[in-house]
Amino acid sequence: MNPCEYKVRPVVRYVVTEYDNAGIQASSSVIGEFDSEICAEKARDALDERFRLREYVAVCQKFVIDTKATYFQTKQEATEFCAKQQELYQEEWRVFSR
């Protein structure tokens, strides 16, 4: 019988971030984390395109762009949606605007 063996290996992840350079301070926040660069780029491109179409987007922190991003015309609609999703599914949702 072979003994159990433990190894250390690097893991590459890709994150989509939002960079905001408003006023004197700049900030960056992680919107999503992906296993492949292609998925991360698709998510970024979808966010870029949909931000042009709508003012606000509610995003689940563990989101897959096709199922965990919802778009709204008003901040109140987006905020209410996030609160309901967090209550129902215990997922962390955030509202972003352009």
Kind and range of the H or E element at 18? strand 14-20
More confident residue, 60 or 35: 35
Average pLDDT over residues 65-83: 77
Where helices occur in 25-98 by DSSP H, the ranges are 37-53, 75-89
- The separation between the first and the last C-alpha atoms of the chain, rounded to the nearest angstrom, is 59
Specify the pLDDT at position 63: 47
70 forms beta bridges with: 58
Closest residue by Cα to residue 16 from 38, 79, 85, 88: 38
Q: What is the pLDDT of residues 18-31, one digit of tens each?
A: 777 666 667 777 87
Specify the pLDDT at position 66: 43
**How many helices (H) does the chain have, and how many strands (E)?**
2, 5
